[in-house]
Structure 1
C-alpha cells in the first residue's frame, strides 16, 4: 500500500515538473485586479470627457453628428488614454508577477513565458493595428468591441502556455465584444466591464484559488 502511494507521489511530482517546464504558472491574480482597476479609472476619465463634450455615448448614430476636428480630437484623446492604461496595467502586472515568481523560486523570463508572450503578442499587435485603422476612419464605435475581441483571442491563444483559467476569461472577452457590436450605444460600458470588472473578478478568483494559501 505504501509502495503504491510512493509511486503515485512520484508520478505527481513528475507531472508537476513537466507542467512547470511547459507552462508559465507565475501569473499573479493581483495582476488582473490591478489591470482591472486601472481600466476602470481609464473608462471613468473617458466618460467625464464625453460628458464635457455633451457626448452621451460613443455610438455611431451620435458620433456622425460631429465634424472632422471633433473626431480628430476625440481620437487623440482615446489613444492617449489607451496608451496610459496599457502601460500602467503592464507595469503593475509585471510587478505582481515578478513578485510571485520570486516567492516561488522561479525565473520569470524562461522558455514558457517566452512562448506565452509570443502567443499573445500576435493577436494583440494585429488587433491594435486594426483598431487604429478603425479610429483613423472615424469608426470609433467599432474600435471598442474590436479591442475586446482581439484581446479575448490573445487570451485563448496564450492559455495553452499558462493557467487554463485564462481560457474562460478569453471567452468572456470575446462574447462581450461581440455583444457590444449589437449594442453600440453602450460600448464604453461594455469596454469597462470587459477590461475592468472581468479582470477584477478573474484576478480575485485566481488569487484565492492559487495564491492566498501559498503566501
Structure 2
C-alpha cells in the first residue's frame, strides 16, 4: 500500500515538473478556427484576386498586395484566437499563460517562421514565385516542431505533416495554392478537431 502511494507521488511530481517546463496545451478550437480562417482567406483570394489560379501574381501589383493583406489578416486572426482561447483554458485550469516558458516557446516558434518569411520575400523579389506555397508550409512546420518541446500535446505531429505537405508541394509547384489550403486549412481543422474531442473527454 505504501509503495503504491509512493509511486503515485512520484508520478504526480513528474507531471508537475513536466508542466512547469512546458507551456499549457493549446486549445483545439483555436486550431479549428485557424483552419477556417485560412480556407476563408483562400476562397476570397480565389474568387476576387486569382482569376487564373495557375498564373503568377506580379510582385508590387494590387492583387499581390491584397493577397499579402489576406495572409496577414489570417495570421493575426489565428494568433489572437489562439491567445484568447488558450488564456481562457489556462484561467479555467488555474495555470499561468505568460512566464519564462512562454517566452522560450515564442522565441523557438518565431525564429524559423521569421527566417522563412524573410527568405520567401527575397525569393519573391527575385521573381521566383513557384515555391512560395511550399516554403511557407515547410518553414511553418519547422516552427511548430521547434516550439513543440515547450507545449503539452502533440503539436509536433502537425509540424511534421506541414513539412511533408510542403515537400510534396515543392514537387508540384503549379498546385501550390491547393497544397496551401490543405496544409493551413484542412490539416489545422483535423488536428484541432482531434485535440478538441480529446479535451472534451478529459
Q: How many residues align?
A: 202
Whether the aligned pair in 2 keeps the contact of 1:149 and 1:174 (CA below 8 Å) is yes
Q: Is the CA contact 1:33–1:200 (under 8 Å) kept in the aligned structure 2?
A: yes
Q: Under a length normalisation based on structure 2, what TM-score does the superposition of the two structures give?
A: 0.93
Residue aligning to 1:7: 6
1:147 is aligned to 2:136: yes
- How many Å separate the matches in 2 of 1:113 and 1:204? 24
In structure 1, distance between residues paired with 2:167 and 2:188: 18
> Are 1:213 and 2:197 matched, yes or no?
no
Q: 1:138 to 1:75 in 2, by over 3 A?
A: farther
Using structure 1 for the length normalisation, give the TM-score.
0.88
Deviations 1:11-55 (A, max 9, x none): 11101110111111231111111111101101111111345xx31
Asked if residue 170 in structure 1 is aligned to residue 159 in structure 2, the reply is yes
**Aligned residues: CA RMSD:** 1.7
Unaligned runs of 5+ residues in structure 2 are none
Aligned equivalents of 1:6, 1:15: Cα separation in 2: 14
1:193 and 2:182 matched: yes
What secondary structure, in the 3-state scheme, does the structure 2 residue paired with 1:55 have? coil
- 1:56 maps to 53
Structure 2 equivalent of residue 97 of structure 1: 86
Distance 1:171 1:84 in 2: 25
The match for 2:36 is 37
Give the gaps of 5 or more residues in structure 1. Answer: none
Moved over 3 A (4+): none
